[in-house]
Chains A and B, each alone.
Chain A
Amino acid sequence: MKITFSVNEMPQSIEIDDENTPLLWVIRDMLDLKGTKFGCGKAACGACTLHVDGEAVRSCSYPAKLVEGKKVTTIEGLGSEEHPHPVQQAWVEEVVPQCGYCQPGFMMATAALLDKIPEPTDNDIDQNIINVCRCATYYRMRKAIHRAAVIKKNTTQPVNSESDG
């Protein structure tokens, strides 16, 4: 079956034989975007988190066919070294990653959280950021999430005032 959607703003049209193919393998193996990780394949760890129409989903358990006509964003499209997303900038400033394998999933989950709750409390973070990090970088992640909220607030305001003026 054919699926047409966009990934990181680029239109994609792909053919899958098995309609149960998880989105994760389409992204990783067919489109060769390796930033989205496989950890468990059972929606239990969050390593494969990406955005579908702005919502964080665990792509290992999200059938690719459901993505028809939708917008997918992966870590590669979240931001770049030149234009980092506030979450990535905060992650760099707090030097969060250790092995790094879980980190894209956490950053995607955090970016989606900040869209819903721009200034999350510790409790908001505890309830919403439920991915697994075996290196247990949670302590710095929490700091980075709060920092990202501040960066996001400070960077979005000037844009608003510009458009106001």
Chain B
Amino acid sequence: MAKNKKKLSRRKFLVRGGLGTLGVLAVGTYVFRNPIRRQIAGMIDTGETPYLGNTKSPILWFEITKDNKIILYSPKVEMGQGTFTGLAQIAADELEVSMEQIAVAHAPSSSGNMDDFATGGSTSISSLWVPLRELAATLREMIKMEAAKKMGTVATSLSVKDGVISEGDRTITYAEAAKDVTEWDIPDTPPLKDMKDYQFIGKPISRVDLKDKVFGTPIFGMDATMPNMLYGAVVRPTVIGATYAEADTSKAENMPGVVKVVKEQDFVGVVANSRMEAENAKNAIDVKWDIPKVWQTADIEAMIEVGKGEPYVIQKEGSPKKTLQEDETLIISEFKSPIGAHAQLEPNGALAYVEGDKATVMMSTQVVKITRNEIAERLGLEKEQVNIVPTFLGGGFGRRLHTPNGIQAAVLSKAVGTPVKCFLDRKEEFQNDTFRPPTHHVLKAKLNEKGLIEAIEHNVSSGDVAWGSPMLPSVVETILGADLGAWRGGMIQYGAIPNYQAISWRVKLPFATSWWRSLGLLANTFAIESFMDELAAKAGKDPVQFRLDQIQDDDRGYRLKEVIKAAADKAGWTDKVVNGRAMGFAASTDVNTPCAQIVEVSVENNEIKVHKVTCAMDPGLVVNPDQVKAQCEGAIIMGMSASLFERMYVEEGQLQPTIYGPYEMALMKHAPKEIDVVLLQNADVPGGVGEPPLGPIGAAIANAVFRLTGERLREMPLKIS
């Protein structure tokens, strides 16, 4: 195995100069591309997404600058999840440079390193963990070999520290060693360092993008500028299913500041001298829409119902169907979750400059390659003629896994021949979101005479998450059938139960539903873990022990048990109500990362207040414990927000509400005063971090409310009647 790998990276290594103005050297490597089927299947089962780079282009570029710094061009984008910091730590350790000597930048698509999987699914660090270390170690050895030549010695007698190579008291920097080298010797991939020898990996290093984010550096898509830039605005549909038919633009054409009104076959937009003028002119355009049907919330709710749509059995063990025959011992419960908006703070949009047969597009996107290809197709250019320059994202959460808005900026720019910046406003953002689909869950179970679960079944009906997304090739649909996004977190994780199954019912909704941080995990865990609590109560058992008793004895089961025990220990778990507060428990396993949470809740004036959250999580090897904790804190409060407040509805064909406030979200006053995160490490490679801690929170809160009030809340957002 190991030998194979060596050959692979050696053969595929690539060197190229002249990237960037400071660059004296850039190197990259390829990874082998597995058949798509295996990748997807692997991802579903374990969350272990391999790096889906392209076989024809390198996945990572390093640039050694004249002042002896190293820039790592990342194919993964930074949207707050801390990936740049993790990648910098990993690279610095194998490269033997200090954290101050390494910078991470987004790779423009023209550099060739694009990731087919995009940035998402909590996979950035885990998928690059091996290739990045191998590449960094190889690069270090390559530089050493050049240093040896320049120093007239052999590489093996050299030592390296902080980007300086030395033999006795003779030293040479990486930049000096790399200078003027045109023909590099590429060694076999050297052995990677021992975990204990890493200086940065595993340490709570501060974020590499921290200063930019504290002192107001213009790093986001919306901050991008170009000389002679104009502003665009596009009329967007406000009604579900509306398609553009025709427009009367006569008024807009004569508005102040308007440079051009652009009519395309599928949209109408305007270019003006300022954002305000563009917006004003846009509002003066009278568009006729084709609206096939005026939808209402009740129509949508009627579609999302277990029993309707296409069923797919996604998990089955024993004979659940036979065991769950209808009789007086069959326990049935239902749960629901609403449509959720991404509501990321930076709206979508792009700054595009199309000059002749060349296009440059600066934007926040999680899908660099797809966006490039879509823009190229629309403009009739070759893919290589379009350069996407990714910026930092003002929030991703899955909202930027399809960013066709780059097309509109590009079309407008082409029409006027200057750079055009075109962004959505907040109402457009809310009404043109790719929503978290609503769900309906039906759970059935029977208990045996020992008070343990004999059989359990989870049915989830959900709008599509993964299907319809340009991210997944349609071939996957025929391979798998079920929507892998919708049922994330929907499987039964208690493997000692003799009979269980999970069934996913696919529903195609009339508006776009897609990836939302953790996909189906939040809703599925809310349903399953609320039901587990009900069953524990029926069995007269402690809910924590009840779960521990039904976990199988294997590696996965061991890791789940350990996080459950750690959470209970740390929180001082009790099922008694103490001083008007009750605890609630829930656990989930997502992308190979088990997570257990215990919340402390009170109810005052029918308002649910979360005082404290204890979170025990085992993401395997942790590259940066402080950032993993930050992800837990954020995911917990975002999950609370979705569980307690957020809900989109449909009225007269429009998705509502369209502004923060009416779209209720957790604010400072709702955030728990205490969040206690315990990290376990019962796996030796990094697992997912950004999404798993979102799983348990909704169920944990509902379970606490039940303990406190006796009321079982079955619908998110959780409201006390």
Q: Within residues 127 to 148 of chain A, which ones have a CB less than 8 A from any CB in chain B? A: 127, 129-142
Chain B minimum-CB-distance residue to A21: B276
B634 proximal to A (CB < 8 A) = yes
Residues in A whose Cβ lies below 8 Å from that of B661: 44
B296 proximal to A (CB < 8 A) = no
A9 proximal to B (CB < 8 A) = no
Residues 100-139 of A, flagged 1 when their CB comes within 8 A of B and 0 if not, give 1111100100000000000000100111011111111111
Interface size on B, residues (CB 8 A): 67
Residues in B whose Cβ lies below 8 Å from that of A44: 426, 659-661
Decide if B660 touches A45 in the complex (CB within 8 Å).
Answer: yes
Residues in B whose Cβ lies below 8 Å from that of A45: 345, 660
A95 CA to B633 CA in the complex, in Å? 12
B665 proximal to A (CB < 8 A) = yes
On whether A135 and B634 interact (CB within 8 A), knowing A29-B275, A75-B216, A97-B210, the answer reads yes
B669 proximal to A (CB < 8 A) = yes
B652 proximal to A (CB < 8 A) = no
A159 proximal to B (CB < 8 A) = no
B654 proximal to A (CB < 8 A) = no
B347 proximal to A (CB < 8 A) = yes
On whether A103 and B213 interact (CB within 8 A), knowing A21-B276, A32-B225, A135-B395, the answer reads yes
A81 CA to B636 CA in the complex, in Å? 31
Complex partner residue of A139 from B343, B425, B667, B675, CB under 8 angstroms = B675
Residues in A whose Cβ lies below 8 Å from that of B534: none
B223 proximal to A (CB < 8 A) = yes
A100 CA to B152 CA in the complex, in Å? 49
A44 CA to B664 CA in the complex, in Å? 11
Decide if B216 touches A41 in the complex (CB within 8 Å).
Answer: no
B311 proximal to A (CB < 8 A) = no
Q: Within residues 71 to 95 of chain A, which ones have a CB less than 8 A from any CB in chain B? A: 74-76, 79-81, 84, 88, 91-92, 95
Complex partner residue of A140 from B343, B426, B630, CB under 8 angstroms = B630
Decide if B660 touches A37 in the complex (CB within 8 Å).
Answer: no
Residues 639-680 of B, flagged 1 when their CB comes within 8 A of A and 0 if not, give 001000000000000000001110001111111110100000
A130 CA to B249 CA in the complex, in Å? 40
Complex partner residue of A99 from B214, B345, B425, B626, CB under 8 angstroms = B345
A110 CA to B668 CA in the complex, in Å? 12
Q: Within residues 617 to 631 of chain B, which ones have a CB less than 8 A from any CB in chain A? A: 626-627, 630
On whether A100 and B671 interact (CB within 8 A), knowing A44-B659, A92-B210, the answer reads no
Residues in B whose Cβ lies below 8 Å from that of A131: 667-668
Decide if B396 touches A99 in the complex (CB within 8 Å).
Answer: yes
Q: Within residues 182 to 231 of chain B, which ones have a CB less than 8 A from any CB in chain A? A: 206-207, 209-220, 222-223, 225, 231
Residues in A whose Cβ lies below 8 Å from that of B630: 95, 98, 137, 140
Complex partner residue of B425 from A18, A41, A97, CB under 8 angstroms = A41
A134 CA to B666 CA in the complex, in Å? 9
A32 CA to B672 CA in the complex, in Å? 37
Residues in A whose Cβ lies below 8 Å from that of B668: 125-126, 129-131, 138, 141-142
Decide if B346 touches A101 in the complex (CB within 8 Å).
Answer: yes
Residues in B whose Cβ lies below 8 Å from that of A29: 231, 274-275
Binding site for A on B (CB under 8 A): 79-82, 206-207, 209-220, 222-223, 225, 231, 256-257, 274-277, 280, 342-347, 392-397, 423, 425-426, 626-627, 630, 633-638, 641, 659-661, 665-673, 675
A20 CA to B279 CA in the complex, in Å? 13
Beyond contacts A37-B220, A134-B345: 7 other A-B pairs, Cβ-Cβ < 8 A, are: A33-B216, A39-B426, A40-B659, A100-B220, A132-B665, A134-B342, A135-B395
On whether A99 and B394 interact (CB within 8 A), knowing A37-B345, A40-B426, A130-B667, the answer reads yes
Complex partner residue of B394 from A18, A88, A100, CB under 8 angstroms = A100
Complex partner residue of B671 from A47, A96, A97, A138, CB under 8 angstroms = A138
Decide if B218 touches A137 in the complex (CB within 8 Å).
Answer: no
A134 CA to B217 CA in the complex, in Å? 20
Residues in B whose Cβ lies below 8 Å from that of A91: 214
Complex partner residue of A103 from B214, B222, B635, CB under 8 angstroms = B214
Complex partner residue of A81 from B81, B211, B223, CB under 8 angstroms = B211
Decide if B638 touches A136 in the complex (CB within 8 Å).
Answer: yes
Residues in A whose Cβ lies below 8 Å from that of B394: 37, 99-102
Query: What is the CB-to-nearest-CB distance from A124 to chain B, in angstroms, rounded to a whole number?
Result: 11
A80 CA to B277 CA in the complex, in Å? 33
Decide if A107 touches B214 in the complex (CB within 8 Å).
Answer: yes
On whether A18 and B277 interact (CB within 8 A), knowing A41-B426, A45-B345, A101-B346, the answer reads yes
A142 CA to B211 CA in the complex, in Å? 19
Chain A minimum-CB-distance residue to B257: A17
Residues in B whose Cβ lies below 8 Å from that of A122: 673
A40 CA to B667 CA in the complex, in Å? 16
A153 proximal to B (CB < 8 A) = no
Q: Enumerate the 6 nearest inter-chain pairs by beta-carbon distance, A residue then B residue, closest first.
A: A35-B216, A101-B394, A99-B80, A100-B213, A98-B80, A136-B637
Residues in A whose Cβ lies below 8 Å from that of B218: 34-35
Complex partner residue of A136 from B211, B347, B671, CB under 8 angstroms = B671
On whether A25 and B275 interact (CB within 8 A), knowing A44-B659, A44-B660, A125-B668, the answer reads yes
- The listed residue with most A CB atoms (<10 A of its CB), out of B207, B211, B634, is B634
Decide if A92 touches B345 in the complex (CB within 8 Å).
Answer: no
Query: What is the CB-to-nearest-CB distance from A81 to chain B, in angstroms, rounded to a whole number?
Result: 6
On whether A100 and B209 interact (CB within 8 A), knowing A25-B275, A92-B214, A142-B668, the answer reads yes
A88 CA to B210 CA in the complex, in Å? 10
Complex partner residue of B215 from A40, A88, A98, A135, CB under 8 angstroms = A88
A47 CA to B342 CA in the complex, in Å? 16
Decide if B660 touches A101 in the complex (CB within 8 Å).
Answer: no
On whether A74 and B216 interact (CB within 8 A), knowing A17-B257, A40-B426, A101-B394, the answer reads yes
Complex partner residue of B633 from A79, A92, A136, CB under 8 angstroms = A136
A142 CA to B672 CA in the complex, in Å? 10
Decide if A42 touches B659 in the complex (CB within 8 Å).
Answer: yes
Residues in B whose Cβ lies below 8 Å from that of A99: 79-80, 344-346, 392-396
- The listed residue with most A CB atoms (<10 A of its CB), out of B214, B396, B636, B670, is B214
Query: What is the CB-to-nearest-CB distance from A100 to chain B, in angstroms, rounded to a whole number?
Result: 3
On whether A97 and B673 interact (CB within 8 A), knowing A44-B660, A135-B634, the answer reads no
Complex partner residue of B276 from A25, A39, A98, CB under 8 angstroms = A25
A136 CA to B642 CA in the complex, in Å? 12
Residues 18-34 of A, flagged 1 when their CB comes within 8 A of B and 0 if not, give 10111001000100111
Query: What is the CB-to-nearest-CB distance from A125 to chain B, in angstroms, rounded to a whole number?
Result: 6
Residues in B whose Cβ lies below 8 Å from that of A88: 214-215
